Each structure stands twice: as structure tokens, then as C-alpha cells.
Structure 1
Amino acid sequence: MIDFCIGGAPKCATTAVAKYLGQHPDIFFSEPKEPYFYASEALNKQVMSPRMSRSEYESLFANKAEHQVAGEGSTYYLHLAERVAPLMAADNPDLKLIFCVRDPVERARSHYNYAFSRMGPYMPNGAGRPMPFAEFVRDETMFEMGNYAKHLETYFDTFGRDNVLIVLFTDIRKNLSDTLSRICRHIGVDPQFDYRKPETTNRTKYPKYHRTIRQFDRALNLVYPHLPVKMRNALLLKRRDLLFAVDGDKYQLTDEERADARALYRPSVEKLQTMIDRDLSHWLTDDREKTSSH
């Protein structure tokens, strides 16, 4: 089974880290990056995650060389810690874990933009209307994705603090080489490797034709509930490809929305900085990620 796993939350650079590590000759990373195996029971009802059998999962690592360490990753493993950690520990109690985390307010803002381009009015509440950010960040799943302290505590208790490495989003953006070396030492491979920059993936697209989007969404509301799942997904992807662009209009939080979200996450952030012995005071103020482009 696997020797290490990368987790985190959506929009915390887990995909980028996985793509870099996958280049290392001593690392065998699963393809796809997110097989969702340990979360498959929790996600079984979601279209994105058809349940994978153990034999199917093990086949992902069939070509691993004897000298390589095997790994996979998922943005679902962190906020589903209470269900995922025991399953992982049953397979490998010495599993090495890497969790990428980000200012939870900035993470939620980035995810909000991403979700609107992908799902439009069918964001978490499924209400068939654009979802206000204040409502989005309070959706149970969305909130838990940024409630890092609660879920990391489960992994610390299950695997021990030394087996869990926490990587901040700003570490990746500002000190990529050192961060990758730190991860390699954590999982027991040579930290010296010359990585090439991988192709960009998961780029968020932003609204480009606002009036057309509103008209499209009104029409979509009439037919969406009656369509087969595959056709629903195809329509949403077509909507994104035609009406959104990388250089479109990003949704920026108002001062009130930002302050409200900061207050919401404050207890978790204060607990986390004690747990990992890192200064996260900038997550509690209006200081924003200077290097973030999402």
C-alpha cells in the first residue's frame, strides 16, 4: 500500500505539489492523483467519486519500482479526517502525511470563484441561484474544508505528530525548492532533485459575459433538474468554457465579508498556530496573500 499521502483543501496547491513530487525518481505517485480510495465510502453518492475497489486501488501502484515510495493525494482527506484516518492507519500505521493549508478566508474566496465557474447556481446549496459568499463560507462542507485544526488533530492523534508535516500555501509560493526538499526528507527520499515546472492545472476561470451568464443560468434552472447526470455535467462544463476566462472578473470580498469570515475562522486559526508552532497572525487580520494570483 502507500507510504505517504498528500492532503489539504481545494485551492491549497496540493495538485502542484503532487505534480512536482511525481517527477522524483524515488517517488511513484498514483495516476490519477486523487483516487479517493480512503474517502470513497463518504463520497459514494457524489458523481465525482465512483467507489473504487481495493484491487483497483492496488493496481494503481502495480508499476512501482522496488526502490520507490508510493503515494497519492486528495483534497477530501483532510476535512473527512474522522472517517479517513482510521482506514489509512489500518493499512499503514506509519504512513507519512503531508497537509497543505492556506489562509482559510483566502482559500474560501478562491474556492468560491472556482465553484461559480464550475457549478454556477448549483453550488453547495443547490438553490438554483448565485450563492452569496457569506452563505458559501457557512455551508457545512465549505466551512470544514478550512477548519484545519479540528481535522489535523485527528491525524496527530492517529499517526503521531512526527508523521504529519504541515506545509503552508505561502511556503510553496515563496520557497518552493526548500519546501519540496522538506517534504522529501519527511517521506525518506533524496531531497536533492532538479524539478521542472509542471503544466498549470486547475486554473480558475472568471466571469467574462455577465449578462449572458445570468440568461444562461435562468434557462438552465428550468431544465437542469430533469436532465441525466452526464448531461448536467456537460452543460456546466460548456458554460464554463464559453462564458468564463482566466482573465475574467474575479470576485473580490467586501470588507464586511472578509471581516465576517475572519471572525468565523478565528478560533480554528488560533488553535492551529499553537498546534504547529507557526505564526499565523496574518490569517487573523486583513493582510492578504501578497503572492496569491487565484
Structure 2
Amino acid sequence: MREPNFIIIGGMNTGTTSLHKYLSYHDDIFMSNPKELDFFNQSKNYNKGVDFYKSYFNTTRKVAGECSPNYTKGNSDEVAERIFRTLPNVKLIYIVRNPVDRFLSQCRFHNLDPDYLCNDYFGDKEFPFDVMISGMYGLHYERFIKYFNKEQILVINHNSLLNERIDTMNLVFNFLKVEKKNYDFSKINFKEHNLKTKELPSKFVVYLNKLTVYNFLKKHLNNDNFLKSAYHALMYSKPQKKQFDEKLKPKVYNHFKNDIEKFELLTNMNFKDWKI
């Protein structure tokens, strides 16, 4: 068992699955399985102790890491402190994306209608979860630099990972101090991990996730290939892209405007393409 050298801390719906997969192709890098350990944000996991966490990194490779986008959500202040207490020298990778686009992507991921959701969010209705919090990059970054030096945190723009993949991966390799010569760049295929080609949980699955019987059924159905296929066909569907009222975009953007400015100031980076 060993400690990880780095953690991808988020954000949700920014390309973390792609980066996790890309890094796993490197001969010197070990990525945790499962991808999202959720150790530092869930007390039920954190209370099991650091040896439980280390058990996911049983490798002799030079570098080991994990990827939990939930580390940059509502309780990121507590998460940052927990990570620092456990791994003060760990390196952190933070992928960020235009927060309006990220919001739409999360709506799609959860099969939510962005128009209704947006109107409800800025209205009087209570929300079951905060679809905006993962896009508050300035908030989360400020919480992490209370404990970590800025040199320990690599910020990656989602557009760079999407459109300048090789240069971005070389930037990550330099940050992790691994040789790029040990990497087969031909393995990188963004479409493999693009949300447009993913099968997402149906609304039925979202509902069943709340039921205890769901985990029982899933456990036993997965032991039979035929039943597993039937289960998958019933539970999952290709994501349907819902149209978003463009007139609502300024309202969503205004929710993030001050946070974007804070994030630019803290990171000395420019995100002018996010602005309306």
C-alpha cells in the first residue's frame, strides 16, 4: 500500500473521466479503480482511516493517483483540510470548463430539462441538489489554496484538453514529473469518453438509486449475462439533448460572473471566452 502522488479534484462534467483514462495509459502512472474514491468528501469512507484509502493504490509504478470530482462541491472547504492533513505534499489537478456549458452538461447527465431547472433554481422552489456549485471554481480554488501552495495545483481548461490534447497531456506529465516518451499518444480517443457517446442513467435509475432494493437487484442481476443485458437495456438510454432557451444564458452567467473574476485573479489566468 502507498499514498497517491496526485488527485484530480474536479470539476464535475469537465472531462475528468477522459483525463483519468488518458493517464492510465502511461507506463509510469497508476490510476485508482474505481475512478472516484470519494474518500475525503464522504465521512463514511474517511472514518475508515488512511490505510483503507491506501489500499486502492497497490502498485509499484512511479506515480499513483485518483479522480473524485465531488471534492469540489459544497463541502470542498472540509475536503481541502482533510486532504492536507492526510497528504500535505500531494499534487492536485483541477479541470475547469465554461460554467454555463458545464451546467448544461450536468443537466443532460441527470436527464434534467435545463429550462425548467434554470427557472426553478432562480425561483422560489427548493432544489434537491445544487447544480451550480461545481461551477464555482473561484470558491473552491480559494478554499484549497488556504492549505496548498499554488504550485501544487495544476489548473486545466477543458477546451485545452478537448482541442489541444497532446500539449495538455505533456503539461500534465511535466507537472507529475513522468517521461512523455513512455506514452503512446495514439491511444487517446476523446470520442470514447465524450458525453455524446455515453449511455446515461435513465430517470428510472435516478429514482431507483434512492431505493435499497436497487442495490440488491443490481448485485444479483450482474451475475447473469442475460439478465444483465435486460437490466442494462431497461435502465439506460442514450442521452437526449434538450434545447436550452438562449435568453436564459445571461441569467446563468450572471450567477457565475463574480466567481469567474475571482478565479481569474487567483490563478492569473484569462477565461474571456466564458464571458457574455
Give distance in 2, aligned partners of 1:91 and 1:98. Answer: 17
Which stretches in structure 2 are left out of the alignment for 5+ residues? 222-229
User: Is structure 2 residue 55 aligned with structure 1 residue 59?
Assistant: yes
Q: How far off is 1:92 after superposition?
A: 1.9
* Aligned counterpart, 1:284: 275
User: Is contact 2:50-2:86 (8 Å) kept?
Assistant: no
Where do 1:150-161 residues align within 5 Å?
A: 150-161=139-150
* Aligned counterpart, 2:23: 21
Give distance in 2, aligned partners of 1:205 and 1:100. Answer: 21
Classify 1:8/1:224 alpha carbon distance in 2 versus 1 (closer, same or farther; 3 Å).
closer
User: Is contact 2:8-2:94 (8 Å) kept?
Assistant: yes
1:141-167 deviations in Å (ceiling 9; x for gaps): 322111110110111221111111100
Q: What secondary structure does 1:272 align onto?
A: helix
Q: Which of 59, 70, 75 is matched with 1:76 structurally?
A: 70
Which stretches in structure 1 are left out of the alignment for 5+ residues? 124-129, 208-212, 286-294
Give distance in 2, aligned partners of 1:58 and 1:25. Answer: 20
> What is the aligned length?
253
Q: What secondary structure does 1:97 align onto?
A: strand
* Aligned counterpart, 2:226: none
Give distance in 1, aligned partners of 2:231 and 2:121. Answer: 19
Classify 1:78/1:132 alpha carbon distance in 2 versus 1 (closer, same or farther; 3 Å).
closer
* Aligned counterpart, 1:245: 238
Larger displacement relative to structure 2 (20-29 or 134-143): 134-143
* Aligned counterpart, 2:37: 35
Q: How far off is 1:12 after superposition?
A: 0.2
Q: What secondary structure does 1:270 align onto?
A: helix
Give distance in 2, aligned partners of 1:236 and 1:134. Answer: 34
Where do 1:113-128 residues align within 5 Å?
A: 113-116=108-111
Give distance in 2, aligned partners of 1:184 and 1:236. Answer: 40
Give distance in 2, aligned partners of 1:170 and 1:137. Answer: 28
User: Is contact 2:39-2:46 (8 Å) kept?
Assistant: no
Q: What secondary structure does 2:35 align onto?
A: coil
Classify 1:63/1:205 alpha carbon distance in 2 versus 1 (closer, same or farther; 3 Å).
closer
Q: CA RMSD for the aligned pairs? A: 3.5
Give the AA of the match of 2:57. F
* Aligned counterpart, 1:194: 184
User: Is structure 2 residue 253 aligned with structure 1 residue 265?
Assistant: no
1:165-184 deviations in Å (ceiling 9; x for gaps): 10010010111111111111
Q: What secondary structure does 1:200 align onto?
A: helix
Give distance in 2, aligned partners of 1:86 and 1:157. Answer: 9
1:201-231 deviations in Å (ceiling 9; x for gaps): 4735799xxxxx9xx97xx99x998873437
Classify 1:226/1:39 alpha carbon distance in 2 versus 1 (closer, same or farther; 3 Å).
closer
Give distance in 2, aligned partners of 1:236 and 1:144. Answer: 32
Classify 1:150/1:202 alpha carbon distance in 2 versus 1 (closer, same or farther; 3 Å).
same
Identical aligned pairs, as a percentage? 21
User: Is contact 2:97-2:157 (8 Å) kept?
Assistant: yes
Q: How far off is 1:114 after superposition?
A: 0.9
TM-score where L is the length of structure 1: 0.74
TM-score where L is the length of structure 2: 0.78
User: Is structure 2 residue 137 aligned with structure 1 residue 141?
Assistant: no
Q: How far off is 1:88 after superposition?
A: 1.1
User: Is contact 2:8-2:66 (8 Å) kept?
Assistant: yes
Q: How far off is 1:186 after superposition?
A: 1.0
